[in-house]
C-alpha cells in the first residue's frame, strides 16, 4: 500500500469518521482498507488492467469517446449506450465493461462461467471457429469505423479481476472478524469512469450484495488527496499519520484468499448465498420469461 491508498483515505475523511468503512481503489493493483478513526487494516490484490480498459480488445481508458454505460434490450439484445463526452464511441472503459457483463448475465446472453449462450437468437452475436463476439456498436456508428465488441476472452479477464477484488474484501473482513453487513459505508475510487453502476458491479460479483445506499463513488481520489496535501500543511501531516496507522496483511500467502478467488470465477460467485438479491432478481426474470 502506498500513496494512492493514503490519498484516498485522506480524500474520503475515512480516517476521522467513527462509522466503519471500506475503501476500494480499483485499478490494475486493487487496494483495500477497512476501518475508521480508531483503526485501519489494508491489503492489495492484483486485479489486472480490465478495470482501466486494458486486456480488452476494444477497451480504452475513461476518456472522451469511451462507452461508460450500457443497457441491453431483452427482446432484441441490442445495446443502448452512453458515451463520455457524447458523440460516437471509440471503445469501452471499465464502468461500461462492468455494465455490459452484468446486463448480459441478467438477459441470458452469457452463463455463470461467462460463456455466450448461442441458442437464444441473438443477431448481435457473431461466431467463427469457436471465437464469438457480441457486437455492442456496429462500425457504421463508431468513431473508428470498426465494430466495438466484447469477446469471451474479454469477459474472462473481467471475471478474473472482479474475483480478485471480492476475494480480497472477504478475506480482509474476516481478518478483523467482520462481515459485509457490518459496514456503514463503502468508498470506491479508481479510473473506471464517473458512472459506475453499483448494481451491475454487485450482479457480476465484484462488490458485496448490500444496500446500494452504502456505496459512494469517489472518482480519482489519488489526485484529490494529493491536491489536499499540497494546499494544506495539516492535511500533509495527516497523510503521514494515515500511512503509519494502517496494518497491512499479505494476501499472496493466504490460502483462504486463493480459495475465494477460485470461487469468484463464476457469476456472481460459486455460493449464491453471498448474493441473495441477485439470486432473487434472476429468479424473477426467469419467471417472467416463462409466462
* pLDDT by 10-residue block (mean), the chain, 291 residues: 89 96 92 97 93 93 95 96 96 96 97 95 91 96 98 97 98 97 96 81 98 93 92 92 93 95 98 96 73 43
What pLDDT score does 290 carry?
A: 46
Instruction: Provide the Cα torsion 213, 260, 47, 273; round to 10°.
Output: -30
What pLDDT score does 180 carry?
A: 98
What pLDDT score does 192 carry?
A: 75
- 3-state DSSP of 169-229: HHHHHHHCCCCHHHCCEEEEEECCCCCCCHHHHHHCCCCCCCCHHHEEEEECHHHHHHHHH
The CA distances from residue 280 to 105, 183, 274, 286, in Å, are 14, 22, 12, 10
**What gap in Å lies between CA 201 and CA 91, rounded to an integer?**
20
Task: Please report the sign of the dihedral spanned by the C-alpha atoms of residue 88, residue 197, residue 203, residue 24.
Answer: positive
In sequence order, the 6+-apart residues with CB closer than 8 A to the CB of 53 are 59, 60, 61, 62, 66, 91, 92, 93, 94, 97
The one-character DSSP state at 120 is S
Residue tagged 475503501 (cell numbers): 23
What pLDDT score does 287 carry?
A: 56
Residue spans of alpha helices (H) in the chain: 3-12, 94-106, 152-175, 198-203, 221-231, 233-245, 255-263, 276-290
Tell me the domains of the chain and their CATH numbers. 3-49+169-263 (3.30.420.40), 50-156 (no CATH)
8 Å CB contact between 58 and 97: no
3 state DSSP class of 280: helix
**What gap in Å lies between CA 159 and CA 172, rounded to an integer?**
20
Average pLDDT, the chain: 94
**What gap in Å lies between CA 193 and CA 191, rounded to an integer?**
6
Amino acid at each position: 500500500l502506498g500513496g494512492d491508498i493514503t490519498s484516498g483515505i485522506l480524500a474520503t475523511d475515512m480516517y476521522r469518521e467513527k462509522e466503519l468503512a471500506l475503501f476500494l481503489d480499483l485499478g490494475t493493483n486493487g487496494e483495500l482498507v477497512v476501518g475508521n478513526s480508531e483503526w485501519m487494516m489494508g491489503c492489495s490484490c492484483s486485479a489486472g488492467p480490465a478495470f482501466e480498459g486494458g486486456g480488452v480488445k476494444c477497451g480504452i481508458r475513461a476518456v472522451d469517446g469511451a462507452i461508460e454505460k450500457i443497457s441491453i434490450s431483452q427482446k432484441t439484445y441490442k445495446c443502448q449506450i452512453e458515451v463520455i463526452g457524447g458523440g460516437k464511441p471509440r471503445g469501452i472503459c471499465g464502468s461500461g465493461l462492468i455494465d455490459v457483463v452484468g446486463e448480459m448475465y441478467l438477459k441470458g446472453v452469457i452463463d455463470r462461467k461467462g460463456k455466450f449462450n448461442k441458442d437464444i437468437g441473438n443477431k448481435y452475436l457473431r461466431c467463427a471457429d469457436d471465437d464469438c463476439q457480441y457486437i455492442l456498436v456496429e462500425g457504421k456508428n463508431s468513431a473508428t469505423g470498426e465494430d466495438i465488441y466484447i469477446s469471451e476472452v474479454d469477459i474472462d479477464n473481467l471475471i478474473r479481476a472482479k474475483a480478485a477484488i471480492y476475494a480480497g474484501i472477504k478475506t480482509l473482513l474476516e481478518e478483523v472478524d467482520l462481515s459485509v453487513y457490518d459496514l456503514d459505508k463503502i468508498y470506491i475510487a479508481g479510473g473506471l469512469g464517473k458512472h459506475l453502476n453499483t448494481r451491475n458491479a454487485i450482479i457480476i460479483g465484484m462488490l458485496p450484495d448490500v444496500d446500494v445506499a452504502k456505496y459512494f463513488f469517489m472518482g480519482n481520489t489519488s489526485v484529490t488527496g494529493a491536491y489536499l496535501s499540497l494546499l494544506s500543511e495539516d492535511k500533509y501531516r495527516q497523510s503521514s499519520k494515515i500511512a503509519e496507522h494502517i496494518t497491512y496483511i499479505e494476501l499472496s500467502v493466504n490460502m483462504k484468499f486463493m480459495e475465494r478467488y477460485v470461487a469468484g470465477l463464476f457469476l456472481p460467485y460459486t455460493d449464491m448465498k453471498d448474493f441473495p438479491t441477485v439470486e432473487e432478481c434472476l429468479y424473477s426474470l426467469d419467471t417472467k420469461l416463462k409466462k
